[in-house]
Structure 1
């Protein structure tokens, strides 16, 4: 058996609002209830399990590999919503796209300080 990521828990103030926000930007089906989680299924079978958390939340980084068409759709949703995005995780290149490994990528701020990223080519896959 190979090793694959199955799920990860995303700590947020409001699990349903956060799952809805991320799902809408990524174009995913609505989250479903799974125990104490709002489970957002990704196309590869892995899931983001959003969980209500009291107290301080430490933002995490979540990167999603998407196709070229999906990239354009996500970018369009960010633009329609008037949301900012950056080519880099340090917010030095606002409203720009990076071209790492010969693909395209961008970052945006998700719910509760989580930093979200889409890329069309995996890191280290080649290209300029």
Structure 2
């Protein structure tokens, strides 16, 4: 059996706001939800499960590989909404994108403060 990534739980201040944000930026699909989880689905059946924990949320980093057209659409949405974005993870180049690893990349934060990254080429 090959190993594939199946799901992750993303802590959210407001699971509805976070799920909507990811659905719009990533063009993800709704998925059946249960219990404390509000789910969205990426390609290959990968689930992002949003939950509101009763503890302080620690920032996590999530990177998503998208094609060039999706990158353009997502970046346009980010800019239209006035979401601060950077070309680098150190947040030293605001309002820019990068051309690292032979593709393009951008960093920004979700509604709960998690660091997100969109890239058009894998690092390896």
Assess same fold via TM > 0.5. yes
- Equivalent position of 1:35 in the other structure: 35
- Equivalent position of 2:86 in the other structure: 86
The structural deviation recorded for 1:30 is: 3.6
- Is 1:16 aligned to residue 19 of structure 2? no
- Equivalent position of 2:64 in the other structure: 64
Once superposed, what is the RMSD of the aligned Cα atoms? 1.3
Determine helix, strand or coil for the equivalent of 1:95. Answer: coil
TM-score (norm 1): 0.90
2 CA distance for matches of 1:35 and 1:121? 36
Deviates more, 1:114-123 or 1:19-28: 19-28
The structural deviation recorded for 1:31 is: 5.1
Determine helix, strand or coil for the equivalent of 2:29. Answer: coil
The structural deviation recorded for 1:83 is: 1.1
The 8 Å contact of residues 12 and 112 in structure 1, kept in 2 or not, is answered as yes
Which 5+ residue runs of structure 1 have no aligned equivalent?
A: none
Q: Give CA deviations for 1:72-94 in whole Å, capped at 9, x if unaligned.
A: 00000001111111011111011
Number of residue pairs the alignment of both structures matches: 124
Which 5+ residue runs of structure 2 have no aligned equivalent?
A: none
- Equivalent position of 1:105 in the other structure: 105
Task: Call closer, same or farther: CA 1:76–1:31 in 2, change over 3 Å.
Answer: farther
- Equivalent position of 1:49 in the other structure: 49
2 CA distance for matches of 1:96 and 1:17? 25
2 CA distance for matches of 1:65 and 1:25? 12
Deviates more, 1:27-36 or 1:50-59: 27-36
